Structure formats: C-alpha cells, structure tokens
Structure 1
Amino acid sequence: MSSHHIVRENQEPALFIANPDCLVDEYLNQLLEWSPTIITLAEHYESLKAREIKIDVVLDNQGLESHVLEEHISLIPYSDSYIGPLFSYLKEKNNFAVNILTDIVEIALYLPYLGDFNINLINNKGKTLFVKKYEKWLPKGFNLFIELEEGKLGEMQNLKPLGDRDYAVLNDGFVSIPQQESYFIISEEL
C-alpha cells in the first residue's frame, strides 16, 4: 500500500539555504522531499545546481545577469541584508513559513518578522524555533536548548535541567513551557 501526499502551493515551509554546508545531506534530503520553494544566495547557486537541487529563487548582491540562471528562477537583488528581501518575497507569495539553513542563530535578525512568519533555523546542531509558548510530544531523554532574553520561563512540564540552558525530557510525553510575553529560542536536537 502506498501513501500519496497532495501538497498545495505554499502549504509546506519554503527552504532558504543561507549556508548549504551547515546540514548533512541526509537531513537536507528530508527537507527537499516535500518539494518546497527553494531560495538561496547567488554565491551558492552553482554548487547547489551541481548537487541537482532545483532552485526557485536567487537573492543576489553580486550583480548576476538573469540569463546565467535557468529560465524558471526568480532573481531578487539586494544590497545590505538579504533578510528583508527574503521575507518580502515570501509575503508576496503568501508563504508564511520558512526553514532556514544557517549557522547564525540570532533572534534579533528575525524579530520584525516573527509576528507574521513561522521561522525555523536548521543546522547540524539542531532545529531552532522562535516561540512565545512551547508544547510538543517528545521521547524520554530528548535534549532541548532554551535561551530566554529576559525573565524566567515559569513552570516547565516534563523537563529536567542538565546545565545552564540544556534540558532533557523526563518521560515520553508532552513537554510544555507556558506563554511568555516575548519570544524565546528553543533548539531541538535532530
């Protein structure tokens, strides 16, 4: 018996490859299985094309000529930071979820967009989420890294502290962190 998935446009998070080398191919291939919209920087276009990864959008600060790209690819120029043009493109396409391959885990870059977008940062260290509340079923022993800019998280359920910001799940079941006033960072192991 086979299973068939019907994926509507923009139902799956887009995939923005800011750093193609920060995630092993096994996990990258899992992200590519759902055929997301794939966005990258001009400097990574050729290497991703050589790996037979189909790019949909290239963010360019190198003055690329559109004729060097395959026909279907959108070219979006930017000058200072690619963050604004990335989220403008996603909003224009009504895609409000994005997985970003990057080693740079910094909430300040994404704060202006967190109210409208579901943003996950992914690299070999794990999957990082920016949330105000967290609730998820996890297996016993699963590790989380939690970083809060200010204040305390309150009563966490089913977690034991391992160190400064490291926690482990006590028992198979739901882990929860109550609603916060501001966003905090939580990283899950892959």
Structure 2
Amino acid sequence: MSSHHFVKEQQEPALLILQTEGIDFEQIAPLLEWVPTIIVVQEEVFKVISWGIKVDLILADMAFQKSNYSLLEEQYPVKFLGVKDGLYLEEAIQYLIATKHSAVNLIGFDHKNVFTLHEKLPFLDITVIDGKMRFYPVKSGRLKKWFTESSIMLHAPEGTFVEKKTAEESSIIEVKYATMLDLHEGTLELSSNEIFWIGEFLTEK
C-alpha cells in the first residue's frame, strides 16, 4: 500500500498553508512526496494552485465560498471548510484531530507563537516551517539525536532551562530569545522539565 495512487490515508503529515510570503515552492516540494492532505487558507489558494499543487480543503468564509464556488468544480474534489472571524488555524486543527490525522506541517506560522500550540500537542504532532527554518517540539522534554555540524535554535519561554549533553561535556542553558547552538557532528542530548522546540535550517539545495 505504498503507492501514491491509493486513496489518501492519515498517516502522512497533513500540510496546512497559512501564509506563502517568504516561502518558495522548493521548500514545500519535499513535503508533497507522499501526497498529504493539503489545507490552504482562502487568501493563499490561488498562489498555491499556481504552484501546481492539488488542494484538498480550502479554509474560507461564506463570502469567499459564494464568489469562488467554481473552484469546487475546477479543483475537484476540493472542499470548503467554513471559517468565521478568521480562525483558520483553530478550525484546521480541529478538523485534523476530528479526521484522525496524527501530524501536520504548518507553513507560514510565526515560530514565536508556537507556545499557543501546546494544548494541541497531545492530539497532533506539529512541525512549523517559518521562513528558512523548521521547528519541532520535544514533547517529552528529552531528545537524543545525531546531528551533523550545524546550528540549531532552542525555542522555549524565556528563562526555561535546558540541559545539553555531548560525549565531551554537559552544560545548562538558560533559553533567551533566539538561543542558537553551534553543533559539532555527533550525538546530542537535550532535556528540560518543560516542552521546548528545536529549530533547524531547511536544507538548501
């Protein structure tokens, strides 16, 4: 059942596009490989369609739905999901949880606001792509991972303490805004009593 041509299932992370400013199609292309469910806000629909992406769900208010009803035929089998008061993210996450998706990639979400997502993390794995960086939460408060030589950002409420361990040393980091770590290649352990997020630069091709 690995073919792209079968009916979509919910194992692959959905793609939720909230904003395309500062985002290139090349950044999104790798996320399309396994044909995820693609959800787009009304303001970005035509830009995303122009990239040749097949949209599954458009988050739209009633006025947009009425004036763009033809999209339902032109982009079949796309559907509208009604949204009031611009609450796109809330409606989309509610939809994903209700339809038993396990993960989502958020495109164009300001990483400074990721703490507002914490109450959703028990129900959904969330990765945020903001500009040239990808942020993911360490929900358990503990991460052990092999990194290449690179720089990463630690993102947590200011004043959060994170323990950093490598084969050579151990240290405690107090997270400030944009706390960057320069890493040597090797295994890194990070742990905290709180949920924290890691930002990695997207691979430039």
- In the alignment, structure 1 segments of 5+ residues that lack a partner are none
Name 2:190's counterpart in structure 1: 177
- In the alignment, structure 2 segments of 5+ residues that lack a partner are none
Closer/same/farther in 2, CA of residues 62 and 108 from structure 1, 3 Å limit: farther
Distance in 1 of aligned mates of 2:41 and 2:109? 15
How much does 1:91 deviate?
1.2
Amino acid in structure 2 at the alignment position of 1:74: K
Name 2:145's counterpart in structure 1: 136
Q: Percent identity?
A: 22
Q: Is the 8 A contact 2:160 2:194 kept in 1?
A: no
Q: Please show how residues 106-145 of structure 1 align to structure 2 within 5 Å.
A: 106-131=113-138, 132-140=141-149, 142-145=150-153
Q: TM-score by structure 2 length?
A: 0.78
Name 2:156's counterpart in structure 1: 148
Q: Please show how residues 60-75 of structure 1 align to structure 2 within 5 Å.
A: 60-61=60-61, 63=63, 64-65=65-66, 67-70=69-72, 71-75=76-80
Secondary structure, in 3 states, of the residue corresponding to 2:165? coil
Q: Is the 8 A contact 1:83 1:109 kept in 2?
A: no
Q: TM-score by structure 1 length?
A: 0.84
CA offsets 1:103-133 (integer angstroms, 9 cap, x no match): 5111233122011111011133210112232
Distance in 2 of aligned mates of 1:116 and 1:19? 23
Amino acid in structure 2 at the alignment position of 1:113: K
Q: CA RMSD in A?
A: 2.5
Figure out how many residues of one structure are paired with residues of the other and give that number: 183
Secondary structure, in 3 states, of the residue corresponding to 1:90? helix
Closer/same/farther in 2, CA of residues 156 and 78 from structure 1, 3 Å limit: farther
| 1:36 and 2:50 matched | no
Closer/same/farther in 2, CA of residues 169 and 62 from structure 1, 3 Å limit: farther
